[in-house]
Copies of this chain bind each other. A is one copy, B any other.
Amino acid sequence: MLELNKMYFEDCLIGLKKIKNESIDVIVTSPPYNIGLKYNGYKDNKPREDYLDWLETIAKECKRVLKKGGSFFLNVGGKPSDYWIPLDVAMRFRNHYELQNIFHWIKSISIEKKDVGNYRNIIGDITVGHYKPINSKRFLSDCHEYIFHFTKEGNVELDKLAIGVKYQDKSNIKRWKSTKSDLKDRGNTWFIPYETIQESRLHPSTFPIGLPKKCIKLHGLKEGMVVLDPFMGIGTTALSCIELNVNYIGFEIDQKYLQVANERIINYSQERKKYLSIKSIDDFNG
């Protein structure tokens, strides 16, 4: 059995074997796109199939360690020249899990006045978030990634208000909710801004900390719970766990990323201590 709150320098398929059956509450991860497999075969899509096979193997092993009422949040993006990747991956997971939700991570979006189609022209746009432009007349910039929420039986009860948003119409608060809090269902479209370049350069596909945090909170914070990330990267999932005060286990096979991850965790913990000395812990997990 592995120790909690550690990141292991290990291939996750090997590491997973050391984890007991049904001992993990939440899995949050973003798998790599390209494994460094070299093929000399000519025209076939073997690499893609192998990649999918490999991910499916991990999916199976994750299923074994996941509790019955656990949640697997799988973040996958595509690329303009191949938007099938995330869908193909999801199809493989379909063989083993129920797809309970799909969350859409929106990195950038433009809000415009409603076009009612009666010749009132659009007046103003507001664009929030950023994206890297794409050099192509065929594709629009990709500002979206998927977070597939897989569960074993499709009926995991979620803590929806833990990531709730404020009501627009305040009069609804008292009207509908038994709880008198100013929070409603966030919906499955999550706007989370990009990481800054400096930060994201450390790892090609790091997701923002707000992402695993939302997933874990949505699943529900429970005493002694354990979060697993088979592809830790620079440790964003671990950081969000520290912030949320829950246990984590992670694997990473790239020593550089692991080092960055550990540095981030140390910095984080120090900042946390400093902060805690002047502020009550209750402010965090609200």
Interface residues of A (CB under 8 A from B): 78, 80, 83-84, 87, 90-91, 94, 99-104, 106-112, 114-119, 121, 124-125, 127-128, 130-131, 133-134, 137-144, 154-158, 160, 165-166, 168, 184-193, 208-210, 213, 218, 239-240, 243, 268, 271-272, 275, 279, 283-284, 286
Contacts and interface: CB of A to CB of B under 8 A. Distances in A.
Contacts of A100: 138-139
B83 A99 contact: yes
Nearest to A87: B87
Contact of A115 (B101, B186, B208, B275): B208
Contacts of A133: 184-185
Contacts of A158: 137-138, 140
Contact of A187 (B90, B142, B168, B186): B142
A13 B78 CA distance: 33
Given A157-B137, A189-B143, A275-B119, A94 B102 contact: no
A94 B127 CA distance: 32
Contacts of A90: 87
28 contacts: A80-B101, A84-B94, A87-B91, A91-B91, A104-B144, A106-B106, A106-B189, A107-B189, A108-B189, A109-B187, A109-B190, A109-B191, A110-B165, A110-B186, A111-B128, A111-B191, A115-B209, A117-B239, A118-B271, A119-B275, A119-B284, A127-B168, A140-B188, A141-B186, A141-B187, A142-B187, A143-B188, A143-B189
Contacts of A134: 185
B102 A83 contact: yes
Nearest to A209: B117
Closest 5 CB pairs of A and B: A117-B209, A115-B210, A143-B187, A110-B165, A137-B157
B138 A155 contact: yes
B191 A141 contact: no
A89 to B, nearest CB: 11
A217 to B, nearest CB: 11
Contacts of A108: 187, 189
A156 B144 contact: no
B188 A142 contact: yes
B189 A144 contact: yes
A101 B187 contact: no
Contacts of A275: 119
A137 B71 CA distance: 14
Contact of A112 (B116, B154, B191, B213): B191
A140 B284 contact: no
Nearest to A104: B144
A238 to B, nearest CB: 11
A192 B108 CA distance: 14
